């Protein structure tokens, strides 16, 4: 029987094409799986395990919340936003010199700042005091080194938070991506094992 009658070359070419197509599909499938794994969202730490003891009032949102773009100032009146601190775990504390619970917890925030002085952690006190009370802000910070306060005398940050701050002190914890992961309304012990565990969990995230 001749090659024309048996379809020899054509048959062999068709078989090669079919095998090549199958191999191509296989390669594409493998690449797809690899790509999916590469773009899989990083697993977030479950911060609810720290809702106990000194952090019993901890609020952990079901989904991370975006940080407000509110402008606040340092003590030299230079503008800042929370985005300036992206890449660090931020413990933002809204406080005032006339707020007794704020002053009571301030030494524990200072201890937290000192404990993580060499790591990407920023304890960020933001005072809502008036200009006439700047000397009181400075005295409070002098008594609680290494803390350095910032200012938001217009209360704008308090209202731009979602949900807005319920009162003072309010402490909001942001992860290294700049997202709100937890907050507490009211006084807390920020030098406690629970507080350090929360910070460690966020530091461990990619």
Looking up tokens 């007794």 gives 100
**3-state class (DSSP) for residue 124:** strand
Question: What's 47's DSSP letter?
Answer: G
Q: How confident is the model at residue 117 (pLDDT cuts 50, 70, 90)?
A: very high
CA distances from 129 to 17, 54, 126, 149, 154 (A): 77, 26, 9, 11, 9
Mark 28-61 as b/e (b = at least 16 C-beta within 10 Å). eeeeeeeeeeeeeeeeebebeebbeebbeebbbe
Q: For position 37, what pLDDT does the model report?
A: 41
Q: What is the pLDDT of residues 4-55, one digit of tens each?
A: 455 555 555 655 555 555 455 454 454 444 444 444 446 899 999 999 999 9
Residue 135 predicted with pLDDT over 80? yes
The enclosing H or E element of 102 equals helix 100-115
Mean pLDDT of the region 95-108: 98
Domain ranges of the chain: 11-40, 47-204
The pair of three-digit structure tokens given for residue 187, joined into one six-digit string: 């006084």
How is domain 47-204 classified at the architecture level of CATH? 3-Layer(aba) Sandwich (3.40)
What's the mean per-residue pLDDT of the chain? 88
- The answer to whether 36 touches 29, Cβ cutoff 8 Å, is no
pTM for the predicted model, two decimal places: 0.80
């Amino acid at each position: 029987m001749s090659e024309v009658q048996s379809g020899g070359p054509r048959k062999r070419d068709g078989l090669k094409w079919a095998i090549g197509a199958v191999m191509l599909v296989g390669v594409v499938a493998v690449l797809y799986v690899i790509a999916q794994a590469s773009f899989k969202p990083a697993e977030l730490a479950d911060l609810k395990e720290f809702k106990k003891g000194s952090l019993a009032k901890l609020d952990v949102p079901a989904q991370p919340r975006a940080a407000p773009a509110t402008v606040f100032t340092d003590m030299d009146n230079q503008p800042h936003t929370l985005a300036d601190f992206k890449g660090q775990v931020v413990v933002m504390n809204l406080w005032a010199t006339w707020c007794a619970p704020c002053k009571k917890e301030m030494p524990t925030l200072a201890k937290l700042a000192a404990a993580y002085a060499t790591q990407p952690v920023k304890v960020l006190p933001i005072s809502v005091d008036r200009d006439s009370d700047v000397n009181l802000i400075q005295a409070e910070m002098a008594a609680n080194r290494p803390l350095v306060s910032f200012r938001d005398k217009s209360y704008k940050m308090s209202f731009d938070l979602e949900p807005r701050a319920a009162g003072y002190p309010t402490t909001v914890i942001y992860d290294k991506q700049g997202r709100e992961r937890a907050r507490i309304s009211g006084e807390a012990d920020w030098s406690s094992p629970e507080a350090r565990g929360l910070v460690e969990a966020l530091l461990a995230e990619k």
